[in-house]
Amino acid sequence: MFLFGGRSVQTLSSTQAGQGYPHEAFLWHEAEDFTAEMVPFVEDGLDAGEPVMVAVTPEHTTWLRDALGKRSAQVEFVDMYELGRNPARIIPAWQQFLDDHTDGMGPARGIGEPIWPGRRAAELLECQLHEALLNVAVEPGVPFWLVCPYDAQRLSPQVVEEAYRSHSVIVHAGGQRVSPHYAGSPHVHTLLSAELSEPALGAHPARFSSRDVSRLLTSVKLELYVAGQSLEDAAELSGVKQSLAVSSLQRGSASGLVRIWTQPDAVVCEVIDDTVVSDPLLGRRQPGTEDHALWLANQLCDLVQLRSTPTGTAVRVLRWL
């Protein structure tokens, strides 16, 4: 089902999409378009005895519940505003859904809407990375049919263009086609190696090593408190940063940098080192089989941005103000 080792990355081709795991983008413009396509998709799955999970915005949940009537009780609805607040939590939710209902064997269907108008720029980047990661998170032969709706009327042309790169099939009112720009697993590595935005002025780095990493907890907690976090939030976020620093050392870094800054909508913490993260799904699996620090960060923070190149890795966590 889902790839747990992080090394067996496989690419979903257009021919495989028709046989096992279709990951489709649905470009819609009006409410009637949305329900006309998504309601039959759900009903066909229910008629075939397939479990169906729908993770969309609350408004679109209402549209589907109203159109499905009593049959909506057979569908697992998830509020994507809550689940997708940090997009890194979405893949584990799909994993749990498949584990609970099919053990990775039987067919299942899903509708996932991680991108909607109004998301912050940083959130949007992570949603686009999530969409690309879905192409390496599920083995091509798994009979899981996933459709991702995009509001093509209100989303920017650039967002729609990116959907063509992360989905093998594009669905629109009245038809579908293989995406001519689908980029597969190489696109994951392109996104993971992209540069993050520049930190705010005054984000002075503090170096850590195995000799003094234990001191981070107190110093980071104080700096976060000065930055406007409550004592409780400062303690929680400083614990996340210390775990990430320890994880950096465990990956083989002799030392690293921690820096903290504020921006109009968030307090931001970052850990930088000279190691390379080769597993694109790190932090998106249930803990116990991998580095626990990134999983913890994804559960406790509003957004986590992981970027890694041959010269080093940066993990940036954000708490919205």
CB neighbour burial string for 145-182, b if at least 16 within 10 angstroms, e if fewer: bbbbbbbbeebeeebbebbbbbbbbbbbeeeeeebeeb
Is residue 228 predicted with pLDDT exceeding 90? no
Q: Regarding beta strands 52-56 and 108-112, do their DSSP bridges make them parallel or antiparallel, or are they unpaired?
A: parallel
pLDDT tens digits, 42-61: 999 999 999 999 999 999 99
- AA identity, residue 273: D
Average pLDDT, the chain: 91
**Cα-based distances in Å from 310 to 58, 272, 274, 292:** 41, 13, 8, 22
| CA–CA distance, 55 with 185 (Å, rounded to integer) | 24
Taken in order of first residue, the domains within the chain and their CATH numbers are 14-192 (3.40.50.300), 206-320 (3.30.565.10)
Q: Is the pLDDT of residue 3 over 60?
A: no
- What's this model's pTM, rounded to 2 decimal places? 0.92
Helices within the chain (DSSP H only): 14-17, 31-47, 58-68, 80-83, 90-101, 121-137, 157-166, 184-192, 216-226, 231-250, 292-300
Q: Is the dihedral of CA 246, 295, 278, 316 positive or negative?
A: negative
Q: Indicate the pLDDT class of residue 103, thresholds 50, 70 and 90.
A: confident
Residue 288 has pLDDT above 90, yes or no: no
| pLDDT over 80 at 313, yes or no | yes
pLDDT in tens, 119-132: 999 999 999 999 99
C-alpha 222/C-alpha 210 separation (Å) is 21
User: Helices 58-68 and 31-47: crossing angle, nearest 10°?
Assistant: 60
Mean pLDDT, to the nearest integer, of 224-250?
94
- Judged against a pLDDT cut of 70, whether residue 289 lies above it is answered with no
pLDDT tens by residue, 172-205: 987 999 999 999 999 999 999 999 999 988 887 8
pLDDT of residue 63: 98
